[in-house]
Amino acid sequence: MATATQNRIIDSARITCSGATDGVIRMVLFDVMKEFFARSNCWLFQAVIPIVSNANDYIINTGQPVVVNRLMKIEQPATPPPMPPQYLPMDPPQFLAL
């Protein structure tokens, strides 16, 4: 289901690109957004990953069907976060409630 903002962008593309089908407009819009977020690093997700001794590999679970593109930083918080971390009800999630 599209939001009002998404509908406005798609309507604007329909006017500018007359003859383009809605499927092509949505596909190109998806590709543009995917490239923008991949290059700009502006979509950040904070995840709590408990470190286990004698383990070298960890699964980063975001709770959504997404791909973790790159790791921005690793830090040890001053106070330990609550376990299990409480996700804010967003789709896709952007922050953890700590």
pLDDT in tens, 17-41: 888 998 899 899 889 988 888 788 7
Let me know whether 49 and 92 are in one domain. yes
Let me know whether 20 and 63 are in one domain. no
CA 1, distance to chain mean position in Å, is: 18
Determine contact, residues 48/60, Cβ cutoff 8 Å. Answer: no
Let me know whether 34 and 61 are in one domain. no
Residue 97 β-bridge partners: 86
**Cα–Cα distances in angstroms (integers) from residue 31 to residues 24, 28, 35, 37, 50, in the given order:** 11, 5, 6, 10, 34
Let me know whether 36 and 50 are in one domain. no
Let me know whether 34 and 58 are in one domain. no
pLDDT more than 90, % of the chain: 6
Is 10 a residue whose pLDDT tops 80?
Answer: yes
Residue 28: which domain range? Answer: 4-40
Let me know whether 28 and 49 are in one domain. no
What is the value of pTM for the model shown?
0.51
Give long-range contacts, CB 8 A cutoff, 24+ apart: 5-12.
none
Is 76 a residue whose pLDDT tops 60?
Answer: yes
> Measured between alpha carbons, how far is 29 from 20 in angstroms, rounded to an integer?
12
Let me know whether 52 and 96 are in one domain. yes
Query: pLDDT grade, residue 95 (50/70/90)?
Result: very low
Q: Count up the domains in the chain and report the number.
A: 2
Does residue 27 or residue 94 have the better pLDDT? 27
